[in-house]
Structure 1
Amino acid sequence: MSSRDVSPPGVVSAIPLEGLPELEESDDLALLLHAAAARAGGLRDADVVVVAQKAVSKVEGRVVRLADVEPSARAIELAGPDGDPRQVETILRESVDVVRSRPPLVIAETRHGFVCASAGVDASNTPAEDTVVLLPLDPDASARRLRERLVALAAVDVGVIVSDSFGRAWRQGTTDVALGVAGITPLLDLRGTADARGRELETTQIAVADEIAAAAELVLGKARSVPAAIVRGVDVRGDGSAAELVMPRERDLFR
């Protein structure tokens, strides 16, 4: 999709979807999101529904009991004296490469190609004590399934983003990014267009899916059980996948 295919934003709003229950495996997440959206005034064409990864992972059964994990020697080494080797073992099982480590911190590349802390394995807001939540096996497929159900339930053309909080090299703090997308264009390609001075842009691509995920995070509540939001006012409808946002290894200058 070119820049001419994306409607310019006017007022952009982020609307929290409140009132969702504690999620369990096999819950109908799309139906729960549709009901929450109805309470918030309903969905509209071009809305983007941003759903926290952990909500998706819980309903997809991506939860591990640490009591069932036998740590390897490598996990014990990487955990150091302050980490839980069972959790580190889970991280290693979710990784294709350990990029950096400083026990007990592990920066890893996941099977999806994401480079992030702990391969996305998270011990916060878990369904039970001594459990961790993993990333969805295929976040783009998760987003597509949610979108198909929401379109059928609401009879509107919406996009879906599955988001998660990532740290960033050289910057303090985390921000939400898109792990999976459906019904939207994740990258706005400005190459070949002109800037305000008429100079041709040669490399500029805007990660609009990440920007929308970050906007939604402003109203999500990790401590308030608000795992989803509607972002309204930016029409980025199209086809694409979050895989487009992953830096190809041959262009990665920072590892």
Structure 2
Amino acid sequence: MTEPDGPGGALTVLAPDGVPEVRKGDDLTALLLTALDRNGWTLADGDVVAVTSKVVSKAEGQVREGTRDDVLADETRRVVARRGRTAIVRNRLGLTMAAAGIDASNVDAGCVVLHPLDPDGSARVLRAALRERTGANVGVLVTDTAGRAWRDGQTDLAIGAAGVQVLQSFAGREDSYGNSLVVTAPAVADELAGAAELAQGKLAARPFAVVRGRADLVLPPGDDGAGAGLLIRGEGQDFFGYGAREAVVRALKAEPGDQAPFGAPAVAEELAAAIAEVTGATTERVGDGLRVRGVDRRLLGVLTYAHGWQIDAADPHDERDTVTVRPQVF
């Protein structure tokens, strides 16, 4: 990429043609540099290289014979929601995706492609190799396609990163109107991945892209950054830890191991309001707990479980007695 940066606010994205089918053991660095050279481009400091997770997985031998269903269990940490044959799961990398991100497209018939074992690690290896062979300080993203809650369609996001600031925080800064920004934090690695995908396309055999124009997001040599794992919310931090149906079933079963996705214990006032709304029962504060009168104990157990609370084990087991509930300690 030899032409100069464009004007402020401009991005240049090249996704080179001519990349052959990637097989286990292939040198991705050589494939990228050859394709760029064929198109008359060379890497420069501040560029961001995006590579699809599929070709990283193929080069690393993450191709398996069989169907998605054959390997889904091994790639799944837990099921978030299931509708018919579609399973949305939290996979072994912590990503929440349909079918754990297992891909059955652009691969030999009867085979599927799994995610790389360590996408951040794969990005670090590629970044170091590009630095060694070209002298350029670039950032690297490993990208994949995913759906979005509340939105139709899919877009690419970063599942691995090295040498790239993946998240920008504007908290504490002011906008041009003097308003304080509280939670504004662009996921810039995902935005770069989406820009790269627009140039790569889905069926054009362009697994690499180079994005120029955001050198401010590329970290100094030797600093690979936190990686794309920083963008994954931990269990219990997401408002939508289960699908709507699954949340009802999990709360009714009340298995201790299923509780983390419901999040940290709710404040007493929130639980008291839910108890009143669902049962009409009255509550009063007792130390760190709530005393509830005139409520079915099983129904109360479901409500407390879903809110991160539990019935005090010392309470009597009369189904409609006064019951004390307290926050769970995780």
> Per the shorter chain, which TM-score range?
0.7 to 0.9
AA matched with 2:53: Q
Q: Is the 8 A contact 1:179 1:242 kept in 2?
A: yes
**1:13 alignment counterpart:** 12
Per-residue deviation, residues 90-149 of structure 1 (Å, max 9, x unmatched): 1111010011111211101011110001101011001x2100000001100000001110
Match of 1:247 in 2: 233
Q: Deviations over 1:32-72 (max 9, x none)?
A: 11222223311111100100110100000000001xxxxxx
Structure 2: runs of 5 or more not aligned = 1-6, 220-224, 242-330
Shift of residue 204 of structure 1?
1.1
Residue identity in the other structure for 1:39: R
Paired-residue identity, %: 43
Paired with 1:143 and 1:14, the residues of 2 have a C-alpha distance of 19
Partner of 1:72: none
Residue range with higher mean Cα deviation, 33-42 or 162-171:
33-42
Tell me the distance in 1 between the aligned counterparts of 2:149 and 2:240. Answer: 9
Kept in 2: contact 1:99–1:109 (CA 8 A): yes
Over the aligned positions, Cα root-mean-square deviation in angstroms equals: 1.3
1:191–1:205 Cα contact (<8 Å) kept: yes
Q: Separation in 2 of the partners of 1:245 and 1:38?
A: 33
Q: Which whole-Å CA distance do the structure 1 matches of 2:88 and 2:192 have between them?
A: 25
Contact 1:166/1:176, CA 8 A, preserved across alignment:
yes
Q: Which moved more, 1:173-182 or 1:13-22?
A: 13-22
Distance apart, 1:168 and its partner CA: 0.5
Gap change, CA 1:10 and 1:39, over 3 Å in 2:
farther
- Aligned counterpart, 1:42: 42
Distance (whole Å) between structure 2 residues aligned to residue 197 and residue 13 of structure 1:
31
Q: Partner of 2:51: helix, strand, or coil?
A: strand
Corresponding residue for residue 152 of structure 2: 172
* Residue identity in the other structure for 2:138: V
Instruction: Indicate whether 1:114 and 2:113 are aligned.
Output: no
The structure 2 residue matched to 1:141, chosen from 107, 117, 121, is 121
Segments of structure 1 that go 5 or more residues without pairing to the other structure are 1-7, 67-85
> Which consecutive aligned stretches of 4+ in structure 1 deviate over 3 angstroms post-superposition?
none
Deviation of 1:9 (Å): 5.1
Whole-angstrom distance in 2 between the partners of 1:65 and 1:92? 15
Q: TM-score, normalising length from structure 2?
A: 0.67
Structure with more relative contact order (C-alpha pairs < 8 Å, separation 6 or more): 1
**TM-score, structure 1 as length reference:** 0.86
